Amino acid sequence: MKNIWWKVLAVVIMTYVIFWGLLGPVPRQPILNESIRNVSFHVPLWFAMIILLVTSVIYSVRYLRKGRMDDDLIAVEFANTAILFGVLGCLTGAIWANFTWGDPWPNDPKLNSVAVGMLMYMAYLILRGSFDDEQRRARISAVYNIFVFAVFIPLIFILPRMTDSLHPGNGGNPAFGKYDMDNNLRMVLYPGVIGLTLIGVWITQLRVRLRRVKVAMDE
Amino acid sequence: MQRTPFFKSSLLALLLLSQQVMAQQPVTSGVEMADQLRADGKIWVVVAVIAAIFAGIVVYLIRLDRQIGKLEKEVNEKKSENSLRF
Amino acid sequence: MTESVRQMGALMRKEFLLEWRQRYALNGMLLYIVSAVFVCYLSFSARRGQLTPIVWNALFWIILLFTAINAIAKSFVQERAGRQLYYYTLASPQQIVLSKILYNTVLMLALAFLGFGVYAFVLGNPVKDVPLYLVALVLGAIGFSVSLTLVSGIASKAENPSTLMAVLSFPTILPLLLELLKISKNALDGLDRSVSWKEVGTVLAIDVIVLVLSLLLFPFLWRS
């Protein structure tokens, strides 16, 4: 376990987020009440997912440019972890929405976009499963990964902003920071983003190493 | 693990800090919050449960990390043996 | 520049010639959309003008989506490996993908207008702003052909292309479809056109993004 410092950092930051997110002061909002604390746990999942997806795309591009199988392996594992975070984000969001909006899956553009995004990445995994030749699988799934990412970003960031949404920051609602964010909450949210991203990178790194070992055993 | 003292002290500092801030939380705006829960100190039960879950996940990750590290070492040794032989 | 345009013209001509020679496939697509419309008409057993505008609109776009996936899926799947190798020596991948996209756009335009005609004929035509609806059709035809051409290229390399084509294309086409539904709903209700400009802009932007991506990524697909 060399280069352990960032793993320690991840654990320390996440511990801070868990404690401070539950105990620290939060703004008092009607309807949301105490559940506003979910901001420090639910929202970082999405930020971390986006960061992991960006990394995955970067590795896909690198694979296409340099053609090293290792890059493809890393790209898949980042996508896998991102999907895990996305599913967790959907679940936590559904629980939260059930209490504040009265419906686990309100017909909200952001939710629907994210569900479609999840479908896209599931399709990515299915696409990978349907090849026998490794080189070919790597190249074509890298192409699809880039394509899907380019469709996913407008889907999740631009389209929901243009229609009415329950989420803050969409459809004319003021964005974060205008009314239900304050500096206390930010002090937890941003570390949460960093911490969860690091945890995600850790999980990804473990899976990548496992795969490399497998590859080495096969040789 | 060598990092436990640091870990523990940072946790302690956090606990102390949070106690202080909780005492100062304003109750003016009239929006109902779980103030009673906090006053009773029952919130610590929730915190403890979640922290335990997180600790479990971290321990699991660390063990996995070590096991994979061992595997990597074995594979590397085998590789170098093979390259010597040929 | 003129050279590459001429090459593209030749490629386009070859696409049309091939299609014309295998007329059964083209006729099959035309029959597909007509019978799909008719099946919907019968299964709703709706007399003219009885569907609510929302259902009318959604149904039409779903029919069009399925037709598009079926029509465009064959653009790469049908071609044999030997012939692909032959193109490879003749033209650059960008030219090939552009000619395919252009050809598919023309095909989709024909299918969309025919479909709209038949659909309006059997199920009644509640559209209040027909020109805007036609604009939505044109935008949809371009968008479908651009994004589905790349997806079909991807799917054709895999083991069972037809299933994969559907799985890969449904989610990726959805943002486009949602915007198109919005535009065509506005046209259906006869809302003021200024309401729809934003959506038209978004659709165009998505089209451009996907087109640029196709040009960038297709060479990598082509090589394998």
Neighboring chain A residues of B34 at a CB cutoff of 8 Å: 33-34
Among A77, A75, A78, A31, which residue's Cα sits nearest to residue A52? A78
Q: CA A128, CA A177: separation in Å to the nearest integer?
A: 41
CB C214 within 8 A of CB C148: no
pLDDT of residue A204: 93
Q: How long is chain A?
A: 219
For residue A46, what are the CA distances in angstroms to A15, A82, B1, C91, C222?
19, 9, 32, 43, 35
Given CA atoms A176, A179, A183, A187 in this order, what sign does their dihedral have? Answer: negative
- Higher-confidence position of C47 and C161: C161
Domain region containing C202:
2-223
pLDDT of residue C46: 60
For range C108-124, the mean pLDDT: 88
pTM: 0.80
Most confident region among A23-27, A80-84, B25-29, C174-178 by mean pLDDT: A80-84
CB proximity B59 to A under 8 Å? no
Distance from CA of C186 to the nearest CA of A (A): 14
Among A94, A92, A34, A97, which residue's Cα sits nearest to residue B46? A34
Whether the predicted pLDDT of B78 surpasses 90: no
Q: Which residue has 């694979």 as its token pair?
A: A63
Q: What is the CATH number of the domain that holds A205?
A: 1.20.120
Among A33, A22, A44, which residue's Cα sits nearest to residue A192? A44
Chain A from 149 to 208: CB within 8 A of any B CB: 202-203, 206
CB-closest option in A127, A143, A159 to C217:
A143
CB-closest option in C171, C199, C209 to A120:
C171
Distance from CA of A143 to the nearest CA of B (A): 30
pLDDT of residue B13: 53
Q: CB neighbours of C97 closer than 8 A, spacing ≥ 6? A: C149, C150, C153, C214, C215, C218, C222
Position A76: which residue type?
Answer: V
Domain region containing A140:
5-218
CB C140 within 8 A of CB C64: yes
Distance from CA of B71 to the nearest CA of A (A): 7
Distance from CA of A47 to the nearest CA of C (A): 21
Overall domain count for chain C: 1
Among C71, C77, C84, which residue's Cα sits nearest to residue C145? C71
Contact between chain B and chain C (3 or more Cβ pairs less than 8 Å apart): no
DSSP states along B43-73: HHHHHHHHHHHHHHHHHHHHHHHHHHHHHHH
ipTM at complex level: 0.81
CB B58 within 8 A of CB A11: yes
Given CA atoms A48, A49, A50, A54 in this order, what sign does their dihedral have? Answer: positive
Cα nearest neighbour of A216 on chain B: B75
Neighboring chain C residues of A143 at a CB cutoff of 8 Å: 154, 217, 220-221
* 8 Å CB contact of A33 and B31: yes
* 8 Å CB contact of C213 and A117: no
In tens, the pLDDT along C130-144 reads 888 898 899 999 999
pLDDT in tens, chain A (219 residues): 567 888 889 999 998 888 888 887 777 766 677 777 888 888 889 899 999 999 999 999 999 999 888 899 999 999 999 999 999 998 888 888 888 777 777 777 778 888 888 899 999 998 988 888 888 889 889 999 999 998 888 787 776 666 666 666 554 444 444 445 567 777 888 898 999 999 999 999 999 999 998 888 887
Overall domain count for chain A: 1
Position A21: which residue type?
Answer: G
Position C149: which residue type?
Answer: T
